């Protein structure tokens, strides 16, 4: 990443807005605001080049700040604490004397401490020894603090407060595998290491590497999204109340075990994304960033702007030079030290608006996205972060958790966009839950379902999902639970009679996931366990459940039991992924929906070389049902939710060859006739050899 290139190629020229306006001409009235945002990005980049020697150097803050071993065997420690009157270091190395090791004050709120090596020439801090910072505030109080740049933190056995632990192993981990090139069809397995075991405990990195990655590979996923890796003192926060931004959570094992996990994923050709939380931080003071220097500011805005009322957390001050260094360096640290292939940015909607999106019902009026409610500093940071990541690694993947529909969020920075590659299709799972919760099957509005699935910005890629961790958490229900509820405990055995409830649940679970996968986006996401209809919600050990691990696990024993019906959903999930890998519809242009019939409850659409057909009718099947098809030729069924291997009834014959006729149907030049059993979805794929037609 050349420092000169940062400005000359990305900054001096105006953004290519013609490309943006070709995709959406309705953005033209906001030309001035889009250019203003881009100029904010350019100005910031130029300042970094002028005062820091470029973004390359600026984003390596972790090499300068924090604690480092010097060439002579000693250590040097540097911190940024502008509100501190004095700064000290204590730990195992000095028997926890609070004030015997004092930092030297430097300009711009920075501090430095040099410790010489021991008499034998060894490092003054032993590997895995504990240390803390002591801040003397303006009132003379001595405040114990954790190093913001700490690479490894472990909770104290007595207090449970996390303490910085000096990570300096005699042998450094060396990655064995190169990064795999990401697939244009992302099939993401959203994962949480701690809950990945069937046992009632916190699983570790090695367990995930040796037991879960093989499952992910077998299921046909090509990407893992890892949640709750950045250290968080409160396990039940699901990793969203981060306390140490540079530390991989020690509850799952040491840093090298995470590196092993990523290495093993790369060996299988699987890319790995980190769920990164730069939208807010924990309010913890003793083991977090909050009030680090004894003031209410430092890393965060002071006053109400620095507090997220809904999440009870602190909001970063993206106008602050050292905060930008800290966050950009954080992204680079995870990418370079741990070899992550990209990031899913949490809480992007909260960052984009001064209201954090709280009680803000976005109507779709473009004026809502370009007026005073937007947070320019946050937007500039996101543009800078995406620019940096894609300069470092052109194959880097960035995904925004964003619900408002901000235009150009997923367009390149060079076009005046925010630079993300994908956004999450967050309205889709909400729609499915609402339908299952409030409507009878016969009342489903087919047009409304299709609209929700295709309602995304043209030219901006979306990750589709029918459910994620949000629906799995206690207080909500997964799709399987909404569909089958209590019968999942009594009627999922293949030895028992197939009940109406379970039959319906299995059928709709597969249909919902397939139509969402085929129609809803340019990528697919599944939360760990949902592929086989995990029967229980997710609830972390906490006071309210007597610190129980019973619901903080994944019951692989259920899907591995050949006598249970969970295997059918798992088989279908694998079949869907492998079929997509063969035909690549996620990487193809958005589908053309030729039929969405309210009375028949039928949906038909074409994508890639496939025709997707769904009959959501509760009981009506259709024979010789004519469907439109633009590309003429021979078609055959390549995936069928009614396949007995997937728990279906086998009503469709996969040896049947379907030939198109030059007969217009539903605005398509050709058509063919099919049999549509009720509550069944299937895919017809064009066959290469059409000579028999």
- Cα angle, residue 217 at apex, residues 212 and 219 outer, rounded to 5°: 95
Q: 647 and 511 in contact (C-beta within 8 Å)?
A: no
How crowded is the C-beta side of 455, counted as CA atoms within 13 Å? 14
DSSP 80: E
DSSP 618: S
* Structure tokens, 494: 């293949």
Q: What is each CA distance from 678 to 431, 516, 649, 684, in whole angstroms?
A: 22, 18, 11, 17
What residues form DSSP beta bridges with 133? 89, 145
In angstroms, the CA 518 to CA 541 distance is 37
Q: 279 and 351 in contact (C-beta within 8 Å)?
A: yes
- With tokens 């966050």, the residue in question is 327
In angstroms, the CA 589 to CA 80 distance is 48
Does the annotation count 341 as an active-site position?
no
* Structure tokens, 123: 């490092």
Q: Residues 163, 190, 346, 391: which is the catalytic one?
A: 346
Q: Residues 426-448, buried b or exposed e (16+ Cβ, 10 A)?
A: bebbebbbebbeeeeeeebebee
* Structure tokens, 595: 């039929």
In angstroms, the CA 288 to CA 163 distance is 10
Does the annotation count 438 as an active-site position?
no
Q: Residues 79, 163, 231, 401: which is the catalytic one?
A: 401
* Alpha-helix residue ranges (DSSP H) falling in 53-174: 55-58
Active site residues: 346, 401
């Amino acid at each position: 990443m050349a420092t000169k290139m940062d400005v000359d190629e990305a900054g001096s020229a105006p953004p290519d807005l013609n490309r943006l306006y070709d995709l959406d001409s309705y953005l033209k009235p906001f030309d001035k605001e889009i250019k203003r945002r881009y100029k904010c990005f350019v100005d910031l980049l130029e300042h970094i080049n002028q005062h820091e020697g470029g973004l390359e150097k600026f984003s390596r803050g972790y090499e300068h700040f924090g604690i480092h071993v010097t060439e002579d065997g000693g250590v040097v420690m540097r911190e940024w604490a502008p509100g501190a009157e004095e700064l000290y270091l204590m730990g195992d190395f000095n028997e926890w004397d609070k004030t015997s090791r004092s930092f030297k004050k430097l300009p711009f709120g920075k501090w430095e401490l040099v410790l010489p090596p021991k008499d034998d020439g060894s490092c003054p801090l032993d590997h895995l020894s504990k240390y803390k910072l002591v801040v003397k505030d303006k009132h003379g109080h001595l405040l114990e603090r954790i190093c913001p740049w700490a690479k490894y933190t472990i909770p104290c056995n007595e207090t449970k407060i996390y303490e910085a632990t000096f990570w300096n192993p005699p042998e450094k981990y060396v990655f064995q595998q190169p990064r795999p090139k990401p697939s244009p069809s992302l099939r993401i397995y959203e994962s949480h290491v701690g809950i990945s075991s069937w046992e009632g405990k916190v699983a570790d990195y090695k367990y995930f590497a040796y037991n879960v990655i093989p499952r992910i590979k077998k299921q046909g996923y090509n990407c893992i999204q890892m949640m709750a890796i950045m250290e968080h003192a409160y396990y039940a926060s699901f990793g969203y109340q981060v306390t140490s931004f540079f530390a991989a959570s020690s509850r799952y094992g040491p840093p090298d075990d995470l590196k092993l996990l990523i290495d093993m994923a790369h060996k299988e050709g699987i890319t790995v994304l980190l769920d990164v939380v730069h939208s807010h931080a924990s309010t913890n003071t003793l083991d977090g960033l909050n009030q680090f220097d004894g003031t209410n500011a430092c890393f965060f805005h002071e006053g109400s702007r620095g507090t997220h009322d809904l999440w009870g957390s602190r909001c970063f001050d993206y106008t602050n030079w050292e905060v930008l260094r800290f966050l950009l360096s954080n992204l680079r640290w995870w990418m370079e030290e741990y070899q992550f292939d990209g990031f899913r940015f949490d809480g992007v909607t909260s960052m984009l608006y001064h209201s954090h999106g709280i009680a803000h019902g976005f109507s779709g009026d473009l004026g809502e996205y370009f007026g005073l409610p937007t947070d320019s500093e946050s937007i500039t940071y996101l543009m800078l972060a995406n620019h940096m990541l894609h300069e470092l690694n052109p194959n880097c993947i960035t995904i925004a958790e964003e619900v408002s529909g901000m235009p150009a969020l997923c367009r390149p920075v060079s076009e005046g966009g925010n630079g993300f590659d994908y956004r999450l299709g967050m309205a889709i799972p909400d729609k499915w839950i609402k339908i299952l919760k409030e409507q009878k099957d016969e009342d489903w509005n087919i047009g409304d379902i299709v609209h929700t699935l295709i309602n995304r910005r043209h030219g901006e890629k979306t990750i589709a999902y029918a459910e994620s961790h949000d629906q799995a958490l206690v207080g909500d229900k997964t799709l399987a639970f909404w569909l089958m509820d209590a019968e999942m405990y009594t009627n999922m055995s293949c030895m028992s009679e197939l009940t109406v409830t379970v039959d319906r649940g299995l059928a709709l679970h597969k249909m919902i996931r397939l139509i969402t996968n085929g129609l809803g986006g340019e990528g697919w996401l599944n939360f760990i366990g949902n592929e086989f209809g995990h029967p229980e919600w997710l609830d972390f050990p906490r006071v309210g459940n007597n610190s129980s691990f019973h619901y903080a696990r994944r019951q692989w024993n259920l899907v591995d039991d050949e006598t249970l019906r969970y295997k059918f959903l798992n088989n279908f999930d694998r079949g869907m992924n492998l079929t997509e890998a063969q035909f690549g519809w996620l990487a193809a242009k958005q589908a053309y929906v030729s039929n969405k019939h309210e009375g028949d409850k039928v949906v038909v659409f074409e994508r890639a070389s496939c025709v997707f057909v769904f009959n959501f009718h509760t009981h009506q099947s259709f024979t010789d049902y004519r469907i439109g098809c633009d590309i003429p030729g021979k078609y055959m069924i390549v995936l069928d939710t009614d396949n007995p291997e997937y728990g279906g009834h086998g009503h469709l014959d996969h040896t049947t060859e379907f030939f198109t006729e030059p007969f217009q149907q539903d605005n398509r030049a050709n058509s063919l006739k099919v049999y549509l059993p009720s509550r069944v979805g299937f895919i017809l794929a064009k066959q290469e050899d059409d000579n028999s037609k």
